[in-house]
Amino acid sequence: MYSWLSVPSYWRSRSRRYMLIGGKCNNCDYKFFPFRRTCPRCGSHLISEEKLPRKGRVLDYTVVHNPPRGYEYYTPYVIALVELENGAKVLTQLTDVDPEEVKEGMEVEMSLRILRVCGESGFIAYGYKFRPVVK
């Protein structure tokens, strides 16, 4: 009951989640993620879909020690607020990095990964995570 993840809910948002498609306001030029049909900044309804850049930098981060049900396997993991190159903000897990090495301002890029495997159904949810830019 507590770890509920519905296949249809996952399925309907998958393309935006795989492609990092957010919203762009045609009134004030605000870019945001996740997509919705009204602008969080000015309230305009003139919103178009916008494929967001795959690179950005870490604004804030946290190492999660008390995961919700279904994420124990990954613990401790890093949740970060990333500012993309066009200014849109994305909430994400960081991967391929030791939690100790994460820093504010760190450059990161998107990567498609397994988000979780759901218990008895065996259903595997994929989505974006971000990893340090390999130079």
Partner 1 sequence: MASILGAGLMKVSSHWNMSIEDLAFEAAEQAMRDANTEKVDAIIVANAFSGVANGQENLAAHIASNLGMARKPSFKIELEGASGGAALVAACSLLNRYDRILLIGVEKLSDVTSLEDISSVVSSSINREHEGILGATVYSHHALMMREYMRRYKLEERDFGHFPIMMHENAINVPHAQLRFKVSMKEYIESPYVSTPLKLMDIPSEADGAAAIILSRSDGPVKVAGIGFSGNEAIITHRVDSLDLENVTSAFNMAMQEAGIGIKDLDFIQIHDTSSVLAYLQIESLGLSDKGKAARDTENGKFRRDGEIPINPEGGMKARGYPVGASGIYQLAESYMQLKGAADGYQIQGAKNCAVVSLGGLASSCIVAVLRR
Report the interface residues with partner 1, using CB under 8 A: 1-3, 5, 9-10, 13, 30, 32-34, 36, 40-41, 59-72, 74, 77, 79-81, 88-93, 104, 115-116, 125, 127
Cα 35–chain centre separation: 12
CA atoms within 13 A on the CB side of 68: 9
Among partner 1, Zn ion, none, the one that 28 touches (CB under a kind-dependent 5 to 8 A) is Zn ion
Compute the least distance from the CB of residue 134 to partner 1, in Å: 22
Among Zn ion, partner 1, none, the one that 69 touches (CB under a kind-dependent 5 to 8 A) is partner 1
**Minimum CB distance to Zn ion smaller for 40 or for 67:** 40
**Minimum CB distance to partner 1 smaller for 2 or for 135:** 2
Question: Is the peptide bond prior to 34 cis by the omega test (within 30 degrees of 0)?
Answer: yes
25 binds Zn ion (CB under 5 A): yes
Contacting Zn ion within 33-52 (CB under 5 A): 39, 41-42, 44
**Binding segment (CB under 5 A) for Zn ion, from list 18-26, 51-59, 93-101, 124-132:** 18-26
